[in-house]
Amino acid sequence: MARRTPPGPDLFDVEQKIVDIDVRDEMQGAFLEYAYSVIYSRALPDARDGLKPVQRRILFGMHEMGLRPDKGHVKSSRVVGDVMGKYHPHGDTAIYDALVRMAQPFTMRLPLVDGHGNFGSLDDGPAASRYTEARPAPAALLMTASLDEETVTFVPNYDDQLMQPEVLPAAFPNLLVNGASGIAVGMATNMAPHNLGEVIGAARHLISHPDASLDDLMRFVPGPDLPLGGRIVGLDGIRDAYETGRGSFRTRATAKIESITARRKGIVVTELPYLIGAEKVIDKVKTLVQSKKLQGISNITDLTDRTKGLHLVIEVKNGFNPEAVLAQLYKLTPMEESFGINNVALVDGQPRTLGLRELLSVYVEFRTDVVRRRTAYRLRRKEERLHLVEGLLIAILDIDEVIQLIRAADDVATARERLIQVFDLSELQANYILDLQLRRLTKFSRIELETERDELVREIERLRALLEDHQLLLNLVSDELAQVAKEHGTPRRTVLLESDGISATAAATTPLEVADDPCWVLLSSTGLLARTSTDEPLGTGGARRKHDVIVSAVRTTARGSVGIVTSDGSIVRLSALELPTLPPTNGAPTLSGGAPLAAFVDLPAGALPLALCSLSDAGPGLALGTRAGVVKRVNPDYPGNKDEFEVISLKDGDEVVGAVELTTGTEDLVFVTDDGQLLHFGADLVRPQGRTGGGVAGIKLSSGAAVVGFWALDPAADNVVVTVSGSSGSLPGTQTGAVKVTPYAEYPAKGRATGGVRCHRFLRGEDTLLLGWAGAAPPLAASGNGAAVDLPEATGKRDGSGTPGTVPITQVASGSV
């Protein structure tokens, strides 16, 4: 049989009360409550300790967990879970993000958390909390120091089960040192980090000079000090921020122009603006290059590692001014960013915009109150201890009577009452005596108690003096700040610049591409190449250094090309734009800043560079002399589409020993052979040939002889001939012989294809000329390492009779004169 269910109450049979409200008022009230909650409990830092609630709760949670910098790390998820369950009823992601930020050295100037594991970078996020570990950093102990000495007010947590600090004691101005950023409802804060030592210096100055002006404080804090350094350009915005709480400044990467290779310049970036990662710069540069908004960059490479830190290499194309490219990078990429300062923080629970002086004043007032409360707490504890010690000393003086009294008592309460009555003790003293251990009843313990009593009396007097004299309290605050700066301060990392160092006019007139201005391309005796910045005539004299002996020079333009004549009868094309530029000099140019020939061209095996030549189709062309005595004038019909081409057809075993570019076609062509013969004749006696021609007979050689030098000279100039003799049987580098300098006019002209005249008479032990040279006086030689060597004066005797000036042959054998 079915059971009948009794009817329930009528759900609609209730007294209903409907209240009409204005939706606008309800929305306004709800929004204001939400906005206040976001402002006060989430987004804005407190001006006293510089922490947001989540940061404060993380540090307090780690303090309560017993974590210390000298103990092991624990899983970050353990810290997050403990903080979330006890103090911060929000998502674990928000808590972990705040913990990660406090551990990142590139975000905070003085990190408060010591992270172990992947805590992210400027380009990548951190690993999950289950993979990372954390513990308080040494600076975190400064934030929580004396927390258990009633220095700050404690308030209930979100469920009224636990107590948490309203603010941390903060032994240093954390808000200025580490900065802050946050977005609330209708307002935001963005504060830059500063140097700990500078901020504490300003705070101490404000303590000793309460009426200090902003200029006085800025002598200690000239500007922000960003964690990764960089440069701050323009200080006007910083002063505005320090004065009104609002301002802006430009942060710029630290970059310098270096030689990436011997033939290419580059921009090396070692520091980036605040919170800008290398990947962000690389992506922006690539995007601008692809869209052709940024020119002159051939490659960008990130060589950052743990040893040398950030190292971003930006290669500049040949033909572009690196300075102009760097200016474009600053303008178009995150290598220069603007940082807007908005110093909004909570003061007495209300958001305020604060300048530098107000921020320091709030902190100094707060820290003074912390030290006062700590002093009062310590005074109370000292007085309580002194009270117990005095009672214990009374009991020890009459210890036999005390013991007898206690033994005669029926219970503890009776013993307490009789102790109070007989010895005039307080209840606390009586309880302390009843809890006394027998081992304390020795003579030595009495001496210890008397010593402790005297120390307590002195300490109480000191603490009372601090509470009674406000100036002493301020001095203590200042001294403690100085100790913090001494232990935790670091040098400034960010460079402050009044301006960018380049005027607007100079920046506008600096061309992006290198102008095609005339210049000289130079080749030194040690194979270094360079070009001058102007086409001024090459100077002479001045201090000579290594690599300063120039064996060949040719005039061209900065974007032009020159040829390198090699001993195998070829010309290799070389772009002048790739060569390093020499600074202007009054004397002879120095090639110590040049680059080696091998950095620009690859010569065939066994081929040697002889001289430079222009590749112009105008002019009388090039004159060549070979070891077998062949001479050739080359028609200047060089191909424009080849980087290497032949200019003479050589017979087997022959090679070019000299190459000179003719200027008028009326020069004298000069041969010098290793058996001491010299022949010169007019260049007009040699008919120009095409590039495939093999030349004509230049000098008639005796059996076994060979040409050691070939030149083209202006017969009207003051020329000399230099010959160096030695022994063909000596080992290379050990020859000893003689060098002779003779006026060129001493040698008569002879016909082409003749044997010429004697130019050097060999001394005992000599049988060959090691090298010869002919050119304008005064001559200069080079040693094997490129050092300049002065040669003797001309002897005036062409056959070598008399006493020639001698120089050790090892000084000039491997160089050129």
Both tokens assigned to 804: 């020639």
Spatial distance between the Cα atoms of 53 and 56, rounded to a whole number of angstroms: 5
> Three-class SS of residue 774?
strand
Q: Which of 36, 87, 96, 131 is catalytic?
A: 131
For tokens 């301006």, the residue is 499
> Three-class SS of residue 191?
strand
Spatial distance between the Cα atoms of 725 and 767, rounded to a whole number of angstroms: 7
Spatial distance between the Cα atoms of 178 and 488, rounded to a whole number of angstroms: 13
Both tokens assigned to 118: 């992947």
Of the candidates 750, 752, 808, which has an alpha carbon nearest to the alpha carbon of residue 781? Answer: 808
Both tokens assigned to 520: 């000289």
Both tokens assigned to 312: 């971003």
For tokens 């194309």, the residue is 317
Of the candidates 306, 250, 232, 276, which has an alpha carbon nearest to the alpha carbon of residue 493? Answer: 232
Spatial distance between the Cα atoms of 312 and 658, rounded to a whole number of angstroms: 46
Q: DSSP letters along 10-77, please? A: -TT-S--------HHHHHHHHHHHHHHHHIIIIIS-BTTT---HHHHHHHHHHHHTT--TTS--EEHH
Sheet holding 246-252, edge to edge: 180-183, 188-191, 336-342, 246-252, 231-233, 495-497
Instruction: Cis check for the bond before 778: say yes or no (omega within 30 of 0).
Output: yes
Of the candidates 201, 204, 253, 208, which has an alpha carbon nearest to the alpha carbon of residue 222? Answer: 201
Please confirm, yes or no, whether 131 is among the known catalytic residues. Answer: yes
Both tokens assigned to 245: 């709480």
Element (H, E) at 329: helix 322-332
603 phi and psi angles, rounded to 5 deg: -85, 150
CA 574 to chain centre: 35
- Crossing angle of helices 196-208 and 470-488, in 10° steps, is 170
Residues pairing with 562 in the sheet: 574, 614
Cα separations (Å) of 534 from 557, 581, 595, 663? Answer: 9, 10, 18, 21
For tokens 């605040």, the residue is 274
Q: DSSP letters along 446-469, please? A: HHHHHHHHHHHHHHHHHHHHHHH-
* Residue 220 exposed, middle or buried by CB count within 10 Å (0-12, 13-18, 19+): buried
Contact assessment for residue 543 and residue 783, using Cβ atoms and an 8 Å cutoff: no
580 phi and psi angles, rounded to 5 deg: -65, 145
Q: In terms of residues, how long is the chain?
A: 817
Q: Which residues are catalytic?
A: 131
